[in-house]
Amino acid sequence: MFWIRVLAIAQIALVARHHVALLEADERSRLARLVGKSRGRPGKYLSANEREEMLRLAQKLEPGAFANGVWGAARGRLRGKR
């Protein structure tokens, strides 16, 4: 069971790396700053323009494809265990 978890985590990390690479370096930096500034509450700590910018950058990460990739990695590991 331990190695299944290790492999799943590694696959998820590779999927995440692929999606983060869709952003330019300055976009990654800006997104990190906005996430930090939001402190988990963008409605309270970010301006409307900053929230729009964060949403635009997050959309460039292709969240639907990311979720499918993560689910596929997890599902494949779970299926192999059965």
Give residue 79's pLDDT.
54
Tokens of 38: 């939001």
Sketch the domain layout of the chain as residue ranges. Answer: 2-81
Q: In a structure prediction context, what are the per-residue pLDDT tens digits for the chain, which is 82 residues long?
A: 788 888 888 888 999 999 999 999 999 999 999 999 999 999 999 999 999 999 999 999 998 998 888 887 667 655 554 4
Tokens of 4: 């299944």
Give residue 58's pLDDT.
95
- What's the pTM? 0.74
Give residue 82's pLDDT.
45
Give residue 77's pLDDT.
53
Write down the residue that tokens 């939001």 correspond to. 38
